[in-house]
């Protein structure tokens, strides 16, 4: 979910060629939810193995990473740790929404309203502990590093980008910018043809990059003020934000009054959240230095045993993806591209 | 369009070498012949392939067409052709497919649906190569296989007297030396060396059996250009170097 900053920040389309050779810290939860939502059958049913276990997330991890690595991108996945206490309200709301969507999905299926079924199924996607451990097991077998964040994954990704260990954070949400990531790449793992919600149409999704400096410069605000704008709109720590204040109004208020506290005071608005506490969560979030960024060729036998042996994936397709990855990875780190010789 | 090859080997070997690196490409069919120029997705290798109309037994093309081809599929189909088969290329009646007809004791017809590819033409970087050495493709192929025993990359080096194909690894070293007398032709204006990925070279060398020689164009830490030349055919690969680690 995250902060609705899309109207305020300008993204630039970026080609995979420009991302070749670059390390990107990808928000694992965000990406796995994307996979669970998108990788579904027309009835909304996720992919499952013969024992009924969901495999959509594993399919996404294998094929999307094979694509990324083939383009020369080096992904590292960042998993959420303990969520901040302030997030419990949002987590509870989301769980309720999922439960409700699940009931509506089942009803729509029974009544053969398949388009609605699909969109309800997407909203009901739930990431379980079993799926998370599946995901980590597959990443390890694929030779792709992952990091366990002590708290929010987005904050950890931002920290790694700030230190220069990775080029950018990768997520659909804008929160990593608030956490201070100098760059955010969106649409990284969902590029290509993507179904439009509630429609039978498809759009071509391309990766885009957002640079924190450019955002701050074009808005003429500091990072603290960008956070304050987000707080007025609503973040995961104060869902809904201030009633009646959307992105444009929030921006105007911060421009006029300088901070969220002064804006609220000037407007005489009482809120039930602590602005300072939330701002502090974005400015000084708990992160760790305990990570090692190394990419290894995939353990082909291990992946085949897991995905084909245990989860009924097609051996031919899995092997093809693994070969693609192995070959690309071998060249990525030391291999130059011909682009430098095109004048 | 209609183009018939009496000897399928040139097309089979060329597509075999290309298709492992490049999944899909626009093939330009014109009155002069058939041409394909493309880079692999990582922009590490570029292929420039021309099959002139003289290479065909029969060549009937009146317009210029760009056919988007899934090269992997095309390779699978061409592998089905034996060395004494005749291959006829044409477009299907509705124009949506490339039709490959393999004739021998029976007539086998494959329709490969065309795919959408960009029409813009790819330029080729202009490079100055201080070393141009022409050798038997088998020597290069064997040298690369020797190097693979110890490493996944190989150094190509030239001095005034020799071409060296060498590799170093944790488990040992190997060097293959080809003297100027052993080469078919040898022009080296200054000593030079560059290092390359064996994975890519192994694919490229599959084109070795279309030509009696391969010209290795080499410089210092610049791409290498391999030219496989035979009457009516030109197949060149450009491969970006690896960074030599200290």
Inspect the interface and report whether the beta carbons of A338 and B241 lie closer than 8 Å.
no
Compute CA distances A312 → A134, A140, A157, B148, whole Å. Answer: 14, 19, 33, 35
| Candidates A20, A341, A342; nearest CB to B42 | A20
A242 domain residue, yes or no: no
Q: Are strands B86-91 and B214-218 parallel, antiparallel or unpaired?
A: unpaired
How many structural domains compose chain A?
1
Say if CB A80 and CB A149 are below 8 A apart. Answer: yes
- Print the domain residue range for A118: 12-219+312-337
Residue B176's Cα: distance from chain center in Å? 23
A57 domain residue, yes or no: yes
Say if CB B134 and CB B214 are below 8 A apart. Answer: yes
Per-residue pLDDT at B106 exceeds 60:
yes
A280 domain residue, yes or no: no
**DSSP notation for A292-320:** --------HHHHIIIIIIIT---HHHHHH
Per-residue pLDDT at B178 exceeds 60:
yes
Lowest mean pLDDT segment, chosen from A37-41, A316-320, B204-208, B209-213: A37-41
Say if CB A212 and CB A182 are below 8 A apart. Answer: yes
Inspect the interface and report whether the beta carbons of B43 and A331 lie closer than 8 Å.
no
Any idea what the CATH number is for the domain that residue A47 is in?
A: 3.40.50.1010
What's the complex ipTM?
A: 0.86
Q: B218 pairs with which residues across the strands?
A: B131
B39 to chain A: closest CA residue: A338
A331 domain residue, yes or no: yes
State the Cα–Cα distance between residues B138 and B214, nearest whole angstrom: 9
**Mean pLDDT score, B131-159:** 95
Per-residue pLDDT at B12 exceeds 80:
yes
In angstroms, what separates the C-alpha of A343 from chain B's closest C-alpha? 7
Per-residue pLDDT at A208 exceeds 70:
yes
**Mean pLDDT score, A60-78:** 91
A197 domain residue, yes or no: yes
Say if CB B68 and CB B26 are below 8 A apart. Answer: yes
Total Cβ atoms within 10 A of residue B1? 18
CA-angle at A59, arms to A58 and A64, nearest 5°: 105
Q: Is B170 helix (H, G, I), strand (E, B) or coil?
A: coil
Q: A7 pairs with which residues across the strands?
A: none
A203 domain residue, yes or no: yes
Which residues 6+ apart lie within 8 Å of A92 measured at CB?
none
* Percentage of residues in chain A having pLDDT higher than 90: 50
Per-residue pLDDT at A254 exceeds 50:
yes
Say if CB B104 and CB B165 are below 8 A apart. Answer: no
Q: Name which of B19, B22, B44 to mutate to probe chain A: the one with the most chain A Cβ atoms within 10 A of its Cβ.
A: B44
pLDDT band at A89 (very low <50, low <70, confident <90, very high): confident
Q: What is the 3-state composition of chain B as percent helix, strand, coil, each rounded to the nearest 5?
A: 20, 45, 35
Say if CB A260 and CB A275 are below 8 A apart. Answer: yes
Q: Give residue A332's pLDDT.
A: 66
Inspect the interface and report whether the beta carbons of A335 and B42 lie closer than 8 Å.
yes
Per-residue pLDDT at A107 exceeds 90:
no
pTM above 0.95, yes or no: no
Q: Which residues of A touch B41 (CB under 8 A)?
A: 16, 70-71
Q: Give residue A297's pLDDT.
A: 86
Q: Which residues of A touch B241 (CB under 8 A)?
A: 336
B237 to chain A: closest CA residue: A338
Q: Give residue A106's pLDDT.
A: 85
Q: Does B59 touch chain A (CB under 8 A)?
A: no
In angstroms, what separates the C-alpha of A63 from chain B's closest C-alpha? 16
- The whole-chain average pLDDT of chain A stands at 88
Q: Give residue B246's pLDDT.
A: 32
For residue A168, which phi and psi values (nearest 5 degrees)?
Answer: -155, 165
Compute CA distances A281 → A5, A79, A147, A235, whole Å. Answer: 18, 18, 20, 11
Tell me the pLDDT tens digit for each residue of B15-40: 999 998 888 899 999 999 999 999 88
Q: Name which of A19, A324, A331 to mutate to probe chain B: the one with the most chain B Cβ atoms within 10 A of its Cβ.
A: A331
Q: Are strands B224-230 and A192-195 parallel, antiparallel or unpaired?
A: unpaired
State the Cα–Cα distance between residues B175 and B167, nearest whole angstrom: 7
In angstroms, what separates the C-alpha of B133 from chain A's closest C-alpha? 22
Inspect the interface and report whether the beta carbons of A334 and B242 lie closer than 8 Å.
yes
Residue that is written with structure tokens 């760059």 in the block: A183
State the Cα–Cα distance between residues A55 and A62, nearest whole angstrom: 11
Of A253, A297, A290, the closest CA to residue A271 belongs to A253
Q: Give residue B24's pLDDT.
A: 85
Lowest mean pLDDT segment, chosen from A107-116, A148-157, A199-208, B192-201: A199-208
A257 domain residue, yes or no: no
Q: Are strands A168-170 and A183-186 parallel, antiparallel or unpaired?
A: parallel
A248 domain residue, yes or no: no
**Mean pLDDT score, B51-61:** 94
pLDDT, greater one: B82 or A89: B82
Tell me the pLDDT tens digit for each residue of A293-343: 888 889 999 999 999 999 999 999 999 999 989 888 876 667 777 877 876
Per-residue pLDDT at B154 exceeds 90:
yes
State the Cα–Cα distance between residues B245 and B112, nearest whole angstrom: 44
């Amino acid at each position: 979910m995250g902060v609705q900053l899309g109207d305020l920040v300008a993204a630039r389309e970026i080609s995979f060629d420009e991302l070749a050779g670059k390390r990107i810290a990808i928000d694992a939860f965000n990406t796995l939810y994307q996979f669970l939502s998108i990788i579904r059958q027309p009835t909304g049913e996720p992919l499952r193995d013969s024992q009924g276990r969901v495999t959509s997330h594993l399919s996404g991890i294998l094929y999307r990473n094979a694509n990324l690595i083939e383009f020369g991108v080096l992904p590292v996945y960042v998993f959420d740790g303990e969520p901040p206490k302030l997030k419990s309200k949002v987590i509870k709301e989301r769980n309720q929404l999922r439960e409700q969507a699940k009931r509506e999905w089942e009803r729509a299926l029974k009544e053969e309203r398949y388009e609605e079924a699909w969109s309800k199924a997407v909203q009901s996607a739930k990431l379980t502990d079993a799926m998370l451990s599946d995901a980590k097991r597959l990443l390890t077998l694929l030779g792709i590093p992952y990091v366990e964040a002590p708290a929010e994954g987005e904050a950890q990704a931002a920290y790694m980008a700030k230190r220069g260990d990775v080029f950018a954070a990768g997520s659909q949400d804008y929160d990593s910018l608030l956490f201070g990531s100098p760059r955010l790449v969106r649409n990284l793992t969902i590029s290509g043809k993507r179904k439009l919600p509630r429609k039978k149409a498809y759009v071509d999704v391309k990766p885009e990059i957002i640079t924190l400096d450019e955002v701050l410069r074009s808005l003429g605000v500091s990072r603290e003020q960008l956070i304050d704008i987000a707080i007025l709109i609503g973040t995961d720590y104060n869902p809904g934000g201030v009633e009646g204040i959307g992105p444009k109004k929030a921006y105007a208020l911060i421009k006029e009054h300088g901070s969220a506290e002064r804006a609220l005071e000037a407007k005489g608005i009482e809120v039930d959240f602590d602005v300072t506490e939330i701002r502090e969560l974005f400015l000084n979030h708990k992160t760790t230095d305990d990570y090692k960024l190394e990419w290894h060729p995939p353990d082909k036998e291990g992946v085949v045993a897991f995905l084909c042996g245990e989860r009924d994936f097609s051996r031919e397709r899995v092997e093809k993806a693994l070969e693609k990855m192995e070959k690309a990875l071998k060249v990525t780190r030391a291999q130059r591209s011909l682009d430098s010789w095109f004048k | 369009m209609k183009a018939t090859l009496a000897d399928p080997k040139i097309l089979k070997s060329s597509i075999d070498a290309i298709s492992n690196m490049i999944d899909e490409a626009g093939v330009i069919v014109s009155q002069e012949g058939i041409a394909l120029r493309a880079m692999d997705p990582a922009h590490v290798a570029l292929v420039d392939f021309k099959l002139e109309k003289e290479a065909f037994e029969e060549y009937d093309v009146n317009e210029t067409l760009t056919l988007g081809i899934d090269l992997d599929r095309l390779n699978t189909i061409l592998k089905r052709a034996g060395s004494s088969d005749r291959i006829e290329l044409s477009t299907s009646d509705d124009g949506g497919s490339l039709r490959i007809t393999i004739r021998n004791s029976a007539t086998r017809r494959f329709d490969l649906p065309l795919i959408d590819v960009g029409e813009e033409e790819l330029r080729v970087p202009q490079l100055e190569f201080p070393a141009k050495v022409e050798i038997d493709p088998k020597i290069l192929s064997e040298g690369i296989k020797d190097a693979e025993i110890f490493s996944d990359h190989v150094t190509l080096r030239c001095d005034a007297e020799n071409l060296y194909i060498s590799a170093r690894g944790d488990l040992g070293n190997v060097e293959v030396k080809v003297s100027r007398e052993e080469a078919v032709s040898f022009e080296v204006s200054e000593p030079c060396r560059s290092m390359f990925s064996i994975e890519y070279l192994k694919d490229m060398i599959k084109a070795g059996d279309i030509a009696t020689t391969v010209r290795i164009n080499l410089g210092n830490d610049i791409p290498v250009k391999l030219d496989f030349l035979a009457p009516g055919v030109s197949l060149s690969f450009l491969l970006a170097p690896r960074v030599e680690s200290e």
